[in-house]
Chains A and B, each alone.
Chain A
């Protein structure tokens, strides 16, 4: 495969989606086979990518470039660095697992798989785009399938069902119905999710266009922009342009992350979505936000990032605590997992905000780890829903008898989500917290308390679902017995546990992406220094490579690969 690996990963799901168009919905096994096959090709290529990525060399590898519009400076420029590689792998693992989780979907199977494949492929596209135009293109492309997946294959909340008759007609007056939080239908969720994300995507798009216009380089290419864009010190509206761009980019992308208070689309969306969609949505779609902020804001505006990243440090605390408390109160399994995801994304923001080698590495590893953990939990919540047709925790209970396999996996899922040693989440969580301690001790304490909170609500949910006496009406519920039913859980569990015992390659890969980035952000001489002419300072800083910068006086040692070869 060699250099074409990225094309395989990206276009295998698209090819599968196109092939599915020509298949009849009556040939169910063929439909599933094509979907699984294309996802499998993508998965194999991602595995190859992950292990063939050379962390010693670092930088962007497997680069592919196809000119699209010379006049506008747009090209399909693909490449992965140490940050993108594990996320590509996580996406293809979750896609493959998601195909099997939705194995029993009877209604319009073909269409479901088409949209699922497009959703995953678009997500993967963001992780490997080196061109701002295509980054945004894939980003938008990943939001649209959500609308259809939620609206057509989703499920209503309990309150909605209580407030409507079987035909879906309202039993209450319309204002009360609209204003009632609990009454969201799947259509409401779909609408809200797409509108919310699109609205904020517009902000990000404005940021991207401002970069394009004011860099004056006539290109969307991130590699060119990060070396040559001069966006600093252009006064606009009483502040400087780079700050405005940074704010637009940050909040534009942070909405999908989701950073408090921009999270309200997410739990509703999770709850309404079918299991496989929730998995991809919480597992990788949310990470698009963090990834895009790293790729755009960190790479192109490093100085501004250093100045403004404390914003994230403040907001992440709210994310962690608030999400945790609401999850504790929630009665709907998917709401609990949804709020827990938004709480956990606060940890990633904390790791990013500290701008430290260890903490950012931890943040990226946490994204990977959380993808597996939350993927498991959503897959199992989906299984329980399929079997019992309810997500209401108080009315469930005692399912351990009926589903020993699922309940066993649920324990593992909860442990992974909490970050108990034995799962890769532990490593990531500890790295975030250790790395952030020097800069944000208060946030670290909040984060540690947040872990206890996570434990409390996950255990409450686990007890509510699986232990205690069982209602007789669930006596027909089945365990996951066949291979297609068990496979997705087994894959995610083994990945989560496997990377705990063998984290070295993952660590190296992520570190190779994080090191030059942090070196660039933290080692440049402050722009605000008045005794030197600003542009000259920047010029020097840009000319220096990360290795040179490492030699500057400072406390943090760098280039782990050198020291490794010494050992």
Chain B
């Protein structure tokens, strides 16, 4: 029964793809979207049934759905492995996926290509499910490429926009660079183990030499870095925001971009046997977490701020993987899926309300006009900032604590600073969007409206999950989630840590988050409007505020401006150096191509043509023999006969 359900999970959305893809034009939009979210809903229900079964029996299932290529030395099946890790991923993918599908019904209402949108979304679900369910690298890779393709199609959804088409190509090409590494890793695995099934590979891991383990792990890492938008391959993700907002929520925040983290956790046995690779994973994660957060400080596009925050949060997950806190990484992946989907979708709701405006400098004061969106965005912001007891706190704190207790102080420092910045820029976003005075133009302001229930409903569910999701991992390191994932990921920290230290670290993390909020509040709320009013109400506080004003100037001078400058500089670095590198490679390719073409033109073709032309010239001379005058021919014939006679004579004499 469970086996059948497992087989059905990816089949439901596939059915919807086929129906909507081929017959979508024959029926109404209502039927199309019902099919689309209904199929994901069925997958979700099946997932729950499978999950309950695994929870009860504690066994993982390996199901062969279809024997694909088999025979002698090569055997690849479409087979699924559903263990606790897959279970968590399945719940996140189908659960969050379902909510986003329902939300999209409202968001995409009236767009041209409505059915096309849902076909792609369902195709994405199929690929993502294959990615997390496969029991071997080939199925993983098929899903991996499938989600990349769907990401391409959906970013370029507004295909007549040049920027969208460019962003789509960029995403696919950058991803494909990562995929090349992943492909090499798969070859290395096959060459070393003669099989591609996870269980068989991991069982023989002892046979692997440390160098080979490092090579495989690094190749896998290249793939993960591309898909999960880590340094240096993250540039595509901010651009990918050209796609419709539900796409950003589903693909570029909650599911696809976390595939890299899933892949590393799935292959943690290989990573464990290579300390070098582990260190690199951790460092990449740490740098990305900090780096992306600094860029987030200066962005003015609401979706781009969220995009950089996604990159940064993925950095935390990588950091977690790099220090061996796999459960914490998956925990953060889960909570991040909740609150980042919530943030993107509420951002979508804001954009929807403002008739497509995305610039936060042209927002402000929206909290009263769209109250539900405001409340939910606030929940998401608190969750991502890491303020207890919301979801983000527990998972992020666990990564930080693990880094500290396992003596990765540098990584801890990076992550803690990143957390401060995260809190700061998220609340900055909050203040600029929802509070203060309105900076909208008159026309837009008149049309501001709260989104329909079909959009707000899923947001509420995500809001609840963002509030409560963290308790799945409570108490830290020994929560339900940790026990559930233990057979796959191990318990992480074996050596006991004193409760006092844990509590201290928690308090530090909370303090960091609150500090970020306070800073944001100070810079984007207090010194804009508060001074006048507060000055009259609290005369005693007035001078303090006044002094703080100077401090504010000072802070502005020594902290905010440099921070902004560094952020701007890093943004510049991002645009000029890193994008420039990509362009340089393209330029180089262009140059080599030009050189090849030159050689083609003047050496190879030219040589051939020279032969041809030489022939032509020779022929031009020789044709003069064909004069058409009988006496010329007669003379030649006589001469020939004479020559022949001489030759015959000579030969006879020999």
Contacts and interface: CB of A to CB of B under 8 A. Distances in A.
Interface in A361-416: 398, 400-401, 411, 415
Contacts of A328: 589-590, 593
Given A181-B600, A455-B173, A563-B72, A448 B180 contact: yes
Chain B contact residues: helix, strand, loop or mixed: helix
A112 B519 CA distance: 77
Contacts of B162: 467-469
B435 interface: no
B187 A434 contact: yes
20 contacts: A179-B609, A181-B602, A325-B589, A326-B596, A326-B597, A329-B596, A329-B597, A330-B597, A421-B142, A431-B74, A437-B190, A455-B176, A468-B160, A468-B165, A504-B68, A557-B72, A558-B72, A560-B72, A564-B70, A564-B72
Interface stretch (B50-58, B145-153, B229-237): B145-153
Interface string A435-453: 0011000001100110111
A459 B184 contact: no
B500 interface: no
Given A401-B160, A445-B184, 6 more contacts: A179-B609, A179-B610, A411-B153, A451-B183, A503-B69, A507-B69
B608 A326 contact: no
Contacts of A456: 173, 589
Contacts of A561: 71
Contacts of A426: 142, 145
B177 A469 contact: no
Contact of B69 (A427, A459, A466, A558): A427
B173 A452 contact: yes
Interface string B156-182: 100110100110010011001100100
A510 to B, nearest CB: 11
Nearest to A503: B69
Given A325-B596, A452-B173, A468-B160, A511 B71 contact: yes
A192 interface: yes
> Which 4 A-B residue pairings sit nearest by Cβ, starting from the closest?
A560-B71, A560-B72, A329-B593, A467-B165
Nearest to A184: B605
Interface string B575-591: 00000000000000110
Contacts of B572: none
A37 interface: no
Contacts of B604: 261, 264
Interface in B587-628: 589-590, 592-594, 596-597, 600-602, 604-606, 608-610, 612-613
A444 B185 CA distance: 12
A400 B159 contact: yes
A329 B590 contact: yes
Given A452-B177, A556-B73, A178 B601 contact: no
A328 B602 CA distance: 19
Interface residues on B, range: 35 or more
A323 B190 CA distance: 29
A487 to B, nearest CB: 16
A358 B73 contact: yes
A267 B44 CA distance: 51
A456 to B, nearest CB: 6
B57 to A, nearest CB: 28
A433 interface: yes
Given A192-B608, A400-B160, A357 B73 contact: yes
A558 B593 CA distance: 43
A474 interface: no
B203 interface: no
Of the candidates A326, A357, A469, A559, the one having the most CB atoms from chain B within 10 angstroms of its own CB is A326
A326 B596 CA distance: 6
- Among A421, A456, A460, A567, the most chain B Cβ lie within 10 Å of the Cβ of A421
Given A179-B606, A181-B600, A455-B172, A420 B590 contact: no
A140 interface: no
B621 to A, nearest CB: 16
A431 B589 CA distance: 28
Contacts of B156: 467
Contact of A181 (B67, B590, B601, B610): B601
B141 interface: yes
Given A325-B592, A559-B72, A459 B169 contact: yes
A271 to B, nearest CB: 13
Contacts of B184: 445, 448
Interface in A498-552: 503-504, 507-508, 511
A398 B597 contact: no
B45 to A, nearest CB: 26
Contacts of B153: 411
Given A181-B601, A468-B160, A433 B187 contact: yes
A326 B593 contact: yes
Contacts of B207: none
B587 to A, nearest CB: 12
Contact of B149 (A420, A444, A469): A420
Nearest to A325: B593
Contacts of B72: 557-560, 563-564
Contact of A264 (B71, B173, B600, B602): B600
B142 A329 contact: no
B642 to A, nearest CB: 36
Contacts of B183: 430, 433, 448, 451
A451 B592 CA distance: 17
Interface string A452-487: 110110011001001111000000000000000000
A469 B160 contact: yes
Contacts of A511: 71
Nearest to B162: A468
Nearest to A453: B589
Contacts of A329: 590, 593-594, 596-597
B651 interface: no
A178 B601 CA distance: 11
Contacts of A468: 160, 162, 165
A527 to B, nearest CB: 27
Contact of B191 (A401, A438, A460, A504): A438
Contacts of B190: 434, 437
A567 B69 CA distance: 13
Which among A264, A401, A415, A459 has the greatest number of chain B C-beta atoms within 10 A? A459
Contacts of B600: 181, 264, 326
B189 to A, nearest CB: 10
Contacts of A567: 70
Contacts of B138: 430
Contacts of A507: 69, 71
A557 B75 CA distance: 13
B71 to A, nearest CB: 3
A73 interface: no
Nearest to B170: A459
Interface string B355-380: 00000000000000000000000000
Greatest chain A CB density within 10 A among B67, B159, B608 is at B159
A175 B165 CA distance: 43
A453 B592 CA distance: 13
B608 A264 contact: yes
A442 to B, nearest CB: 12
A459 B68 CA distance: 30
Interface in A189-240: 192, 196
Contact of B609 (A178, A438, A557): A178
A177 to B, nearest CB: 10
